[in-house]
Structure 1
Amino acid sequence: MKKQLMRIIIAVVIFIAALIINPYSFGLSLVLFIASYILVGGDVVLRAGRNILHGNVFDENFLMSIATIGAFAIGEYPEGVAVMLFYQVGELFQSYAVDKSRKSIASLMDIRPDYANVKRGDQLLQMDPDEVNVGEIIVIKAGERVPLDGKVLEGNSMLDTTALTGESVPREVSIGEGILSGCINLNGVLTVEVTKEYGESMVTKILDLVENASSKKSKSEQFITKFARYYTPIVVIIAALLAIIPPIVIEGASFSDWVYRALTFLVVSCPCALVISIPLSFFGGIGGASKRGILVKGSNYLEALAKAEIVVFDKTGTLTKGVFNVQEIHPVNMSKEALLELTAYAESYSTHPISLSLKRAYGQEIDNDRITDVQEFAGHGVAAVIDGKEVKAGNFRLMEKLNIPYFNGEVAGTVVHVAIDNRYAGYILIADEVKMDAAQAIRELKDSRIRKTVMLTGDTQSVGLKVGKELGLDKVYTELLPGDKVEKLEEIFTLKSAKGKLAYVGDGINDAPVLARADIGIAMGGLGSDAAIEAADIVIMNDEPSKIVTAIKISKNTLKIAQQNAVFAIGIKVAVLILSAFGLATMWEAVFADVGVTVLAVLNSFRALEVKGL
């Protein structure tokens, strides 16, 4: 870009000198005009020649070359040089815009780790991340980037997840928690067991998604590509007819006058503004979305999202945290603390998620000396003797098996019934928690003119309806198997308009078929399954439902900018083409209609990168 700028500046200096000298020395000024033209337009003419040899005749290089060489042929030297100068200024702006967009996306490449500290025996070896195997132990020191996905074995620290999620607030990790490659370890030393190979790790997937995003074109971009392919030869034919036919059929018409009009027509007709600015708008939108932790796999999906009418959600892990927690404790003739303690002790040997949630709620060290005679009833619950008391904890089937009367009311969640010495002692309600921003996301989606919000879940009716009511969803379907979800989605498809789109948001392996079937599949990428991320078109890196609203706003903003560029470029060009055909526009107006419109459209495309307020 610096070389291009220097060349333009030198050509401008020579061009101005030629204009000053022209009235006094035609020969010297002509030499300077030619020198300025070769300096600023030589590469364009060479590209046009190479393209013609390769069968690609009708492009902007050909249009610029024939128009400017034609201007020299009819003695319009200053205008010939000026057209090429302004064209190169437009190209410079385009290069700057593309470079800026690429840098916004290329900043993601900084997440690529350079090495991993692998622990082998007493040694710490520095290795390439792609040479480290699953199950190996790595050490991540303060200030280092996490090289591979893994599980923390020792230490606790704060992680900077900005590159993955777009969130500036560090996340705390401790023993037993999973961490993703691409984050930066801010303070403590972490010992981590590798759970995925480098090729399967989060950092590699993100880079692949971003690098391949531009290969899937939006309908707007496909239209512009086809438009330019047919448009350019048509305008060249019209220009040729404009130069030849009027001087023959119109009495007194000047051949040079009509050639000038034809050349002006050619300069105006160059489709640079459309060919450059439309893809650049979508490129900027994808780059801006990545800054906010939203990865879009192609501009076609970004364009489709702007037309979304129905958003369908999975429940667990999407609208809820996917982590069971104790919500309520209902004791009978004892304290809540005592009931929770005895239940946590009885469940202490189990690794079931419900058992883990009870131990987590108890929050104290389990003294195994207090526990004897542990029994597990498959599909029912557990029994243990604690401090001499016979404690049985499980579902309603266990209570019925033991012939113990129990609470049988309607609740939203999983109920653990507890009996002590064969007498009912109460129950503990365990349920998934709704994500903090889920209700806000549904509200904002409705404000964004989404016609319908739906939830599909395999959970019970009581749980599904409770979550649906709490979030304000329009419709909830419960107790669905993965196959049922696809069938239900087919029904929901009939509710949208012909041009409207349906987006599905999920995170699990069971969501992969539905994500693939939807017009736009959106996966929760932080904790979501690999199958869901693979099947999705858009990935939300921090698992926040509110980012779906942000993605829709970015898509609408990007599409609006692309449409503005298309209408502006085509409108100005058509107006000046008509004026030039009637001899009412000079090459200077033609230069504005070509290069000026290109520059303004490119500058407008920059706005797609600005996503802070969205």
Structure 2
Amino acid sequence: MDTAIKKEFILEGLCCGNCASKIQRDVSRLEGVSSAAVDFVSKTLTMEITDREKAESLTAQADSIIKRHDPDVVMNEKEQLQPGKKVIYLLGLCCADCAQKIEKQVNRIDGVKSAGIDFVSQKLTIEVLDKKNLPAVIRQASQIATGIEPAIQISYTGTNSTQASSLNLKKWLHRITLYAGAAIFVTGMLFDFGTYIEFALFLISYLFVGGEVVFRALKNITKGQLFDENFLMSVATIGAFSIGEYPEGVAVMLFYQIGEAIQRLAVNRSRKSISSLMDIRPDYANLIIGDEIRKVTPYEVGIGDLIVVKPGEKIPLDGRIVEGRSTLDTSALTGESLPRDVEPGNEVLSGSINKNGMLTIEVLKEFGESTISTILDLVQNASSKKAPTENFITKFARYYTPLVSLAALTLAVIPPLVVPGAAFSDWLHRALVFLVVSCPCALVISIPLSFFGGIGGASKNGILVKGSNYLEALNNVDTVVFDKTGTLTKGIFKVTQIVSTNGWSQQELLSHAAHAESFSNHPIAVSVQKAYNQVIDTLKLSEHEEIPGQGIRVKVDGRLVLAGSSKLMEAFGIAFKPAEVLGSIVYIAIDGSFAGYIIISDELKPDSKEAIHNLKNMGVKTTAMLTGDSKAAGEKIAGEIGLDMVYTDLLPHQKVEQLEALEKKKQTKGGKLVFVGDGINDAPVLARADIGIAMGALGSDAAIEAADVVLMTDEPSKLVSAIGIAKKTKSIVWQNIVFALGIKAVILVLGAMGIATMWEAVFGDVGVTVVAILNAMRAMRVVK
């Protein structure tokens, strides 16, 4: 059985939030599609297809569904390339003969498996034998293309100029007819031409202003789309004409069209503002090639290449400094304004800004795998994981419009039949007010924009949230559980005392411990090696075995050495007396006899105590710590910073068990349990928690993969900021819900009473939508 494949499509021209939710619903129902999601903010449709053979057919069906709901939307598939493949767009390529020459020469590049040009879409697809050579091949292919046809512009995201021209032409035609219709409407209002000429003027004006809307409504009716805004506005305005309210019919349609234009402008501005929050993608890299420095795109730089970063430039790819010293501004990544000094040997992350000195950097990751690409990908795809409130509003909108439309029909028909002296035209006018305000766009547009704005604001503050669902869940945190090392403490260990027994000297004990720990990167092991400060002779080592959660068993110069926790001593039957001291303790046994212990101390982070205090002020009921450290060390830290519970001497699997036990003890029904860890050693616990938060894990692939939220600095106080951002975002979301539904409810009541006119009704539709969108944009400024 074939595994499911994932396809992503950009929906150019998508500006109707209600249409987006309908597209998602209908595509999800296609046989062979296991799931579908439309991200209105990024205009992206994501489909999970269970049958590869039906992929092309299902794509065509999805396109038909999109056209049915919004004919102006153009569906373009995102490139889903295997490792070793890349698409380059040769914008401006207009010579078929040149295209053949480029294809032929690119195929001759050493290491190219195949290369082909699609002349219509201006697309060059390259496949290489070894993906490590891909950046160099891309570089050569770009030079070949611009050498053969200098007018070509290289793009790695692509665009379809034909479709773009078509969309622009439609926009201009729409504007011209709208301006002409408005001019005729003003003429009819200012001058008295008599009944018949006046009717003709307003009818022509109406056709210019609203003809497109009516045509779309008729087209959609044939496709079974009855309750959309085109149909509702058409019925409402034609109804106005039927009762002799010609100026009102035209004016309402004109106001509606202007409101729609303002709405599109607000949506696009909101999208651009959100994108600008993450405007940290580097545009180029200064690549060292031989004796020259060439400005290239980051895609053209491979692992091991050397790049130069001048003062004021962004570091384009993750790497290690080989020459130069400088100060880096990492605020775009971490939200912290404090600069960071770097020197040769330091690793640096893409997206940081070089403040002063010239740096030469050896590239460690390709652009697609770099920190900056990972962050951008996470933020841009975050709103595909929808919050419960978004899902609720989508379902609500599905029933709201038909119910209000049914109420409008009832209002038009029933009162004239049962109320003595009631005029049909009067009650029809009231019913038309209902139809105009029955579109739920204010909700289905502003709510995803609010969540995405909150996610964007959080990322600007050094907090990566992987989905709207996690951002909303942070509002209901009941229990917060912390790892100790690297989370509440600095994780910078230092040997503070060596206690030897049975005739062993302190230096001998340290030497055996350092050799035993030489293969480990654990902070405690590193601190022992630093204290030893001599070259480790690995030839002395044999039969090395790491015992999870306990320590190391190894032979050093033929002697059996055990180095680890008290549990390791007990497991091997070593007679010893547990040390009642603070700090992490490494017990040492040599040839089955206890030889002593080494005390390693860690330092508490300066904002840990404040973070716990603020969490409790925000309504967190329980704070706890899980650690593999000793009881004395764990309880000392817990008491110092004010934790409610502490669990010590835990093995990795015991942390998961303890977390599950705490889950059952939660005080608030529906409350969420958060685990905060370093994201590397705590992956099982991060995955088990309601919300897993990786601390100080910027640049760590393991942390980003395991966690739901990533705090890009080492500060526990960032968790407080994350919850604060979540609460502010939810507040904005509910402001929009209450505002939109409240205004619509008022207009519906006033309309039923004959007080509200269709002018107020149009404001209740497009006006409320614009106000809600502008309010949603405030979520982007939540950075504290």
Residues 471, 122 of structure 1: CA spacing in aligned structure 2 closer, same or farther, 3 A cutoff? farther
Pairwise CA distance, 1:547? 1.4
Residues 567, 355 of structure 1: CA spacing in aligned structure 2 closer, same or farther, 3 A cutoff? closer
Q: Does residue 266 in structure 1 map to residue 431 in structure 2?
A: no
Residues 407, 234 of structure 1: CA spacing in aligned structure 2 closer, same or farther, 3 A cutoff? closer
Please tell me whether the aligned partners of residues 150 and 180 of structure 1 are also in contact (alpha carbons under 8 angstroms). Answer: yes
- The 5 Å alignment of 1:209-228 reads 209-228=378-397
Residues 31, 196 of structure 1: CA spacing in aligned structure 2 closer, same or farther, 3 A cutoff? same
Name the residue aligned to 1:402.
none
Name the residue aligned to 2:355.
186
Name the residue aligned to 1:448.
618
Pairwise CA distance, 1:448? 0.9
Q: 2:586 & 2:649 partners in 1: Cα distance? A: 17
- The 5 Å alignment of 1:132-151 reads 132-151=301-320
- The 5 Å alignment of 1:348-427 reads 357=527, 408-414=579-585
Q: State which drifts further: 239-248 or 450-459.
A: 239-248
Q: 2:730 aligns with which of 559, 569, 582?
A: 559
Name the residue aligned to 2:743.
572
- The 5 Å alignment of 1:16-415 reads 16-21=186-191, 23=192, 25-27=194-196, 29-34=198-203, 36-107=205-276, 110-118=279-287, 128-325=297-494, 328=496, 357=527, 408-414=579-585
- 2:602 partner SS: strand
Amino acid at match of 1:481: L
Q: 1:140 & 1:474 partners in 2: Cα distance? A: 48
Question: TM-score under structure 2 normalisation?
Answer: 0.65
Unaligned runs of 5+ residues in structure 2 are 1-14, 16-170, 501-505, 545-551, 557-562, 567-575, 589-594
Name the residue aligned to 1:594.
765
Please tell me whether the aligned partners of residues 152 and 174 of structure 1 are also in contact (alpha carbons under 8 angstroms). Answer: yes
- 2:189 partner SS: helix
Name the residue aligned to 1:583.
754
Name the residue aligned to 2:650.
480
Q: 2:369 & 2:577 partners in 1: Cα distance? A: 48
The number of aligned residues is: 586
Please tell me whether the aligned partners of residues 506 and 532 of structure 1 are also in contact (alpha carbons under 8 angstroms). Answer: no
Name the residue aligned to 1:500.
671
Residues 309, 575 of structure 1: CA spacing in aligned structure 2 closer, same or farther, 3 A cutoff? same
Unaligned runs of 5+ residues in structure 1 are 333-338, 384-393, 398-404, 418-423
Please tell me whether the aligned partners of residues 679 and 693 of structure 2 are also in contact (alpha carbons under 8 angstroms). Answer: no
Q: 2:676 & 2:310 partners in 1: Cα distance? A: 36
What do the CA deviations read for 1:217-261 (whole angstroms, capped 9, x no partner)?
111111111111122122222222332333344444322222212
Q: 2:657 & 2:579 partners in 1: Cα distance? A: 33
What do the CA deviations read for 1:360-393 (whole angstroms, capped 9, x no partner)?
799xxx899xx99x9889969999xxxxxxxxxx
Q: 1:331 & 1:479 partners in 2: Cα distance? A: 21
Residues 92, 472 of structure 1: CA spacing in aligned structure 2 closer, same or farther, 3 A cutoff? farther
Name the residue aligned to 1:389.
none
Q: 2:642 & 2:397 partners in 1: Cα distance? A: 47
Name the residue aligned to 2:778.
607
Q: 2:695 & 2:363 partners in 1: Cα distance? A: 22
Q: 1:120 & 1:475 partners in 2: Cα distance? A: 58
Please tell me whether the aligned partners of residues 266 and 770 of structure 2 are also in contact (alpha carbons under 8 angstroms). Answer: no
Name the residue aligned to 1:512.
683
Q: 1:46 & 1:53 partners in 2: Cα distance? A: 11
Q: 1:271 & 1:448 partners in 2: Cα distance? A: 34
Pairwise CA distance, 1:37? 4.0
Q: 2:685 & 2:583 partners in 1: Cα distance? A: 26
Please tell me whether the aligned partners of residues 507 and 527 of structure 1 are also in contact (alpha carbons under 8 angstroms). Answer: no
What do the CA deviations read for 1:409-432 (whole angstroms, capped 9, x no partner)?
512234799xxxxxx9x9985323
Q: 2:463 & 2:579 partners in 1: Cα distance? A: 45
Q: Percent identity?
A: 58
Please tell me whether the aligned partners of residues 239 and 262 of structure 1 are also in contact (alpha carbons under 8 angstroms). Answer: yes
Larger RCO: Structure 1 or Structure 2 (Cα < 8 Å, ≥ 6 residues apart)? 1
- 1:320 partner SS: coil
Pairwise CA distance, 1:202? 0.9
What do the CA deviations read for 1:462-496 (whole angstroms, capped 9, x no partner)?
33222222222111122222222221111111232
Pairwise CA distance, 1:205? 0.9
Residues 197, 242 of structure 1: CA spacing in aligned structure 2 closer, same or farther, 3 A cutoff? same
Please tell me whether the aligned partners of residues 321 and 347 of structure 2 are also in contact (alpha carbons under 8 angstroms). Answer: yes
Q: State which drifts further: 127-136 or 62-71.
A: 127-136
Amino acid at match of 1:177: N
Amino acid at match of 1:552: I
RMSD: 4.4
Amino acid at match of 2:239: G
What do the CA deviations read for 1:312-335 (whole angstroms, capped 9, x no partner)?
222222222222246x57999xxx
Name the residue aligned to 1:388.
none
Name the residue aligned to 2:77.
none
What do the CA deviations read for 1:542-596 (whole angstroms, capped 9, x no partner)?
2322111111111111111211221222233223323323434322332343344
Q: 1:395 & 1:307 partners in 2: Cα distance? A: 40
Residues 98, 122 of structure 1: CA spacing in aligned structure 2 closer, same or farther, 3 A cutoff? same
Please tell me whether the aligned partners of residues 277 and 457 of structure 2 are also in contact (alpha carbons under 8 angstroms). Answer: no
Please tell me whether the aligned partners of residues 506 and 522 of structure 1 are also in contact (alpha carbons under 8 angstroms). Answer: yes
Question: TM-score under structure 1 normalisation?
Answer: 0.81
Amino acid at match of 1:19: M
Residues 231, 361 of structure 1: CA spacing in aligned structure 2 closer, same or farther, 3 A cutoff? same
Please tell me whether the aligned partners of residues 104 and 288 of structure 1 are also in contact (alpha carbons under 8 angstroms). Answer: no
